[in-house]
Amino acid sequence: MSGLQSIRARWTAPDVGALFVVSGPSGSGKTTLLHAALRAVPGLEFSVSATTRGPRAGERDGVDYHFVTRAAFERLLEGGALLEHAEVYGNFYGTPRAPVEAALAEGRSIVLDIDVQGAAQVRAAHPEAVSVFVLPPNLAAIEARLRARGLDDDTIVARRVREADEQLAEAGEYDYLVMNDDLSSAHTQFQAVLVAELLRRSRRESWTLAARR
């Protein structure tokens, strides 16, 4: 278990959930940090994106992504079913609108792992979104991690490293930064941001009311 070990004990859901947006260059560690955070922070839901990229080893359709054809992606787009979308590293990605809007309407919290173009579209539609940018210590670390991950061929790794700077250039638009150098520290930083947001007084009126009864 990584991050905030005992936060689950006696946790209660906030009255008003949060819309979290997480971005960072490929290999910065978003997936690793998110998987641990989804286990550690109660009541968080992951927004499963649609993508035209093919599945990597170990990825499950409907869990990691909805893997769709280009034609199916275009139908989703034309039908207004995507909250945002972008072309990233040569493939199309988009966030299904309905699960995000249902979560927000019901006070639940949801996390989107999306690129900087998508994050800008989400901010425009939902100015209350809370955004987190995961930074690598340097570009060399990204390349080493993508190679060590062993799930993308050399051409794909090279493209992702080349395009990392375009993502990094937008870090200034985000509310929070997480430095993923030492992984254990990054888990704690990331989970601390999520938990702090979920403890905002504006999301917790019922706690104060209950304490005064």
Contact indicator for 114, 84 with CB cutoff of 8 Å = yes
Strands 44-46 and 82-88: unpaired
Rounded Cα distance, 184 and 187, in Å: 5
- Residue 40 phi, psi (nearest 5): -85, -35
104 vs 142 by CB, closer to ligand ADP: 142
Residue at token pair 């490929």: 26
Contacts of 24 by beta carbon, 8 Å cutoff, 6+ apart: 30, 133, 134, 135, 136, 167, 180
Stretch (H or E) spanning 175:
none
Q: Shortest gap between Cβ of 206 and ligand ADP (angstroms)?
A: 35
115 vs 186 by CB, closer to ligand 5GP: 115
In the bound state, the residue with its beta carbon closest to ligand 5GP is 118
Which of 119, 94, 212 is CA-nearest to residue 170?
A: 119
Stretch (H or E) spanning 96:
strand 91-96
Applying CB under 6 A, among 117, 171, 175, 188 the residue interacting with ligand 5GP is 117
Site for ligand ADP in 118-157 (CB under 6 A): 145, 148-149
Give the number of other Cβ atoms within 10 Å of residue 78's Cβ.
9
Residue 115 touches which member of ligand ADP, ligand 5GP, none, C-beta under 5-8 Å by kind: ligand 5GP
Residue 50 pairs in a beta bridge with 66, 94
64 vs 108 by CB, closer to ligand ADP: 64
Interaction between residue 31 and ligand ADP (CB under 6 A): yes
> Binding mask 53-92 vs ligand 5GP (x if CB under 6 A, - otherwise)?
x------------------------------x-x-xx---
> Binding mask 1-40 vs ligand 5GP (x if CB under 6 A, - otherwise)?
----------------------x--x--------------
Q: Residues interacting with ligand ADP, by CB under 6 A?
A: 24, 26-32, 145, 148-149, 180, 183, 186
State the residues that interact with ligand 5GP by CB under 6 A.
Answer: 23, 26, 49, 53, 84, 86, 88-89, 93-95, 113-115, 117-118
